[in-house]
Every structure is written in structure tokens, then in C-alpha cells.
Amino acid sequence: MNDGQDPPERPAGRPAPAPGRPVRTPGRPVRAFVLGGGGALGAHEVGMLKALLEAGLRPDLVVGTSVGAINGVMVAADPRAAAIERLADLWSGLGRAGVFSGSLLERLGTAVRSGTHLHTAGPLRALLETHVPAGRLEDLTVPFQCVASSIERAAEHWFTEGPLADAVLASCAVPGLLPPVRVGEEHFLDGGLVNSIPVGRAVDLGAREIYVLQVGRVESPLSPPRLPWQVATVAFEIARRHRFARDMAGLPPEVTVHVLPSGAPAGEPGGALRQLRYKTFGRTAERIERAYTASCRYLDGLHDGDQPPGDGPRGDEARGDEARGGEVHGDEVHGDGPSRGGGLPGGGLPGGGVR
């Protein structure tokens, strides 16, 4: 279903891309949107996408992990600001329609019957099939790839073509919450286990202008676990941040990366289990608006600093007197500023990594 609006057609004269690979737009670098995981906090990515699309920044490539695969496939299907309303509707459905809801007794019943997970994948599959008109990855308007973790091979696996719902469900099959997804002869779990913020994949595919949408506060220090169930969360977060820092440090000099600010307040709950409790989806609208405001401020800062504003018209909504975001020229980072190895709270990185 697409609410009566057909996705935009590929511009005349541009060849159809190989599955999951971008088509270069003359006159500018290949632009990619990279969407990381984050459970219910993935609502922030909706606000970031709204700001990007209103600024006329259309992607040539979208790559996603976990909940970022859900958001990413929606924008790859229709990379227009008008599509954000449908994405917001999808997020409203995540807290309803039995996707991550249900009583404690129902969830315990699912866990007892399955022995491995609290929720079934059926409601999420139905929600995806309702909101995304394309049935296969290669039919999307913008080339899209998402990552999942192969159980049999203990390896990173990238979906570039095939049934859309299978690929996205595999990418967001959080262990313990959703069942492993079988595709062909393999079973897959959440892509965040192997690549939570896949900047390197976008670079490998030719992207040179990258916008990272990630919702974990990678610049904030971690605290030692105090409870048994916090140990795994802290261990995962260490691995996630280490991979992201390594990818950023290894960027080629011709690549520019912008890590959009989420606008999330300090102390936003973390951990997969907490992020996917149905009550946390009640703050979806607030998270979208926070990220939208923060990302507009950042993008307006780039525009004020004579950075390219994008390919199309800016949105009609007034931005008020919002403060400027981070600005990057050469080897310097101004504004929010990153810390070495800790990611960026909202800044750009040209030429070679975290500075």
C-alpha cells in the first residue's frame, strides 16, 4: 500500500543499477545514508530523514542495520519528504498491532513455546508488507542493502536482492526478542551483532558523501555494569563503538562523513531489551521531533558555511532562530566536536577519520 502515491520514477537517461549498487549522479559525489540500529530509539532516525529530505539531500544509496533497515527501506522505496508521514505511521504501528506489545503473560507464553524469543515475527512482517509497496529489494527506487548475522557461518551477510520483508526481518531479528529468520538454507539474527553502523559498507560501494543516522550516544562514556543483565549490553556496546571508531579512522581522504545529532537527552535508556519494550514506543513523536530539530540545525549550519545545500528545494517549515550545527573545513571540526575513537555527536569528517 502506498496511500495513492506512486514512488518517484528513475530520471530519464540514468541506467538501472545493479542490485544494491548506486548510480552516480553527475556533478557530485555518490551520496549515501547509513542507518544504524537502536530499537525504539530508531524513531530518532525518522526525524533525521525528514530533515535530510526537506533539505533536498536525496541519497544515491541507502544501507541499514537492524531498526535502521526498517527506516532505510522506507526511504529507499520513496526518497521524498512526503514519505516521512508514512514512516511515522509505521512507527506508530510498532507500538501497536502486536509487534512489540502484548501482556507479560502472552510474551512468557511465546517464550515457553519457542524456547528462544518473546515475540513472533508475523506482526512485523505484516506491517512491512503494508507500508512498503515494493516486494523485492531490487525494485526499490534507491539502491538499498541491509546486513544480518548468519548463524551457520558466524559471518556478516549483506542482502542486496530478493524478498524485501525477509531481508529486513533478518536484519532486525534481535536475539531473545524475535526468532531467527530463515532465508534459503541459512538462519539470520540482528545485523547489529556484526555491523551496527555500516559506514565501511557505504565506502566500499563508492559513497564519498555519507550521512550517518545513529541513535546511540557513542560520545558518552559507558558505566560498569551493576546488574547481571547489564553485562551483555555493556559488552555489545564496547564492540559496537570499537567497530565504528575503527571504520571512521580508516576512511579514505576523499570521503566526507556527517554524523547527524539525534537530539536525544542524556540518560535515554539503552539496551535492546529496554529499547523494545512496548511502553517505550509511546515517545515516538517526541523522538522524531527532537531529532528533526537537531538535524535541521546541523544542516542549516552546513548551508550557512557554504557547503552544498543539496539537490532539491528545502522544506517549507520555518527553522526559527536555531543555533548552527557543526561545520567542517579541511582537517578541522567545529561545533559539537568529536573525541578520538568515540564517534561524533553531530559533525563531519573529511579526509581520513576521527580527529
- Confidence tier at 171 by pLDDT (50, 70, 90): very high
The CA-to-CA distance between both ends of the chain, in Å, stands at 45
Among 18-32, 48-62, 80-94, 244-258, which is the least confidently predicted range?
Answer: 18-32
Confidence of residue 217 (pLDDT cuts 50, 70, 90): low
Which residues are known catalytic residues? 66, 190
**What is this structure's pTM?**
0.77
What does the pLDDT look like over 107-130, one tens digit per residue?
444 443 444 545 566 678 888 888
More confident residue, 88 or 272: 88
Residue-wise pLDDT tens digits, 141-152:
999 999 999 999
**Residues paired with 61 in a beta bridge:** 32
Average pLDDT, the chain: 74
Provide the grid cell at 350: 573529511
- State the number of CA atoms in the 13 A half-sphere of 92 facing the CB: 8
Given a cut of 90, whether residue 284 has pLDDT beyond it is no
213 in Cβ contact with 45 (< 8 Å): yes
Whether the per-residue pLDDT at 155 is higher than 80: the answer is yes
Q: pLDDT per residue over 321-339, tens digit each?
A: 332 233 322 233 333 333 3
Alpha-carbon distance of 320 to 322, in angstroms, equals: 6
Least confident of 7-16, 47-56, 61-70, 258-267: 7-16
